[in-house]
A = this chain, B = another copy of it.
Amino acid sequence: MSNSFIADETILYQLYDIYRRTAPKFESCTGISQTRLKLLHELYEVEEISQRELQKRVNIDHAAVTRHLKQLEEKRMVIRRKNPEDQRFTYVQLSDEGRLRIIQYREEKQKFISDVLNGFKEEERVQLLDMLTRIQNNIEKI
């Protein structure tokens, strides 16, 4: 087993470890989980959208989407309604309050991200993004 393989192992492990350690800090800094903010962010970009379409965009399981939206609805962050023309579809939109609060969340998120990438030059960020994208593509193929 070569040294470079050990380094490769470490890369994989660090990817995993970074996620695990980031998630709780992200939430305590911003006040919301990464997935949920992603959902709100997608809603922020549109007037109204079906759960199905939203699910495709955030790319997590249907079941998780349903549960998040139900909770966001309870918190009065989003509004859901059935499409009258096709009752299978449920349409979702941000409530006025949701639209206000997401702005706050995004500010906190921005601070958080700049902490995470502290010390990274612009050029390095570009490189990193490129490498992560390549990894994502590789994983896709497996």
Contacts and interface: CB of A to CB of B under 8 A. Distances in A.
Interface of A: 1, 4-5, 7-23, 25, 29, 34, 38, 59-60, 109-110, 112-120, 122, 124-129, 131-136, 138-142
A51 to B, nearest CB: 19
Given A7-B125, A115-B142, A124-B131, 12 more contacts: A5-B113, A7-B129, A8-B114, A9-B109, A10-B129, A11-B129, A11-B132, A15-B132, A16-B34, A17-B59, A116-B135, A117-B135
Contact of A128 (B122, B131, B133): B131
A138 B135 CA distance: 22
A15 B13 contact: no
Q: Helix, strand, loop or mixed for chain A's interface?
A: helix
11 contacts: A5-B110, A8-B114, A15-B22, A16-B19, A20-B60, A21-B140, A22-B139, A25-B142, A116-B139, A119-B134, A119-B138
Contacts of A25: 139, 142
A13 to B, nearest CB: 7
A97 B132 CA distance: 37
